[in-house]
């Protein structure tokens, strides 16, 4: 439904640039008390300063509420953005990496050196823990 169609059904319409006033058709209005505006995204807003609801206004000019909104794409469905990782997965990862660090710390506490493979695994654990921290921050 276009703004022009709605305006054509009202009386004493004044305004420009997608912002108008008119007599409210839902009550006996002698002076314009209805504000009509079209937003940038195509929605049409109605406000009666005498207190009539949008439903009452539209009903009195044989229109429905859905006609205040632009048509949506017929095949478009809103899909909320999924998180990159679920928090339960991040916690499991942290638990495992904490276990790796604990094993290495235990070995070092006994004055046993870490092998090159163990040192490389510690670097992997550190990087994964830091990735979780970055994901939680964002």
Residue 132 has a pLDDT of 86
The span from the CA of 72 to the CA of 66, in Å, is 11
Asked whether residue 73 is domain-assigned, the answer is: no
Q: Which domain holds residue 94?
A: 87-137
For the chain, helix, strand, coil in percent to 5 are 45, 15, 40
Residue 18 has a pLDDT of 77
Asked whether residue 33 is domain-assigned, the answer is: yes
pLDDT tens column, 38-69: 888 888 899 999 999 999 999 999 888 888 88
β-bridge partners, 37: 19, 45
3-class SS at 122? helix
Do 63 and 94 fall within a single domain?
no
pLDDT tens column, 64-119: 888 888 876 566 566 666 666 777 888 899 999 999 999 999 999 999 999 999 99
Asked whether residue 74 is domain-assigned, the answer is: no
Of the pLDDT bands very low, low, confident and very high (cuts 50, 70, 90), residue 1 is low
């Amino acid at each position: 439904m276009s703004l022009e169609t709605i305006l054509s059904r009202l009386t004493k319409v004044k305004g420009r640039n997608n912002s108008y006033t008119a007599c409210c058709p839902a009550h006996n209005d002698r002076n314009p008390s209805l504000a009509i505006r079209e937003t940038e995204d195509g929605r049409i807003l109605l406000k009666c300063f005498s207190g009539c609801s949008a439903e009452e206004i539209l009903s009195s000019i044989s229109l429905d509420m859905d006609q205040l909104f632009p048509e949506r794409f017929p095949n478009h469905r809103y899909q909320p953005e999924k998180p990159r990782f679920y928090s339960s997965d991040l916690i499991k990862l942290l638990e495992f990496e904490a276990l790796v660090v604990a094993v290495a710390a235990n070995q070092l506490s006994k004055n046993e050196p870490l092998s090159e493979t163990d040192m490389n695994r510690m670097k992997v654990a550190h990087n994964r823990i830091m990735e979780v921290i970055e994901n939680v921050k964002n």
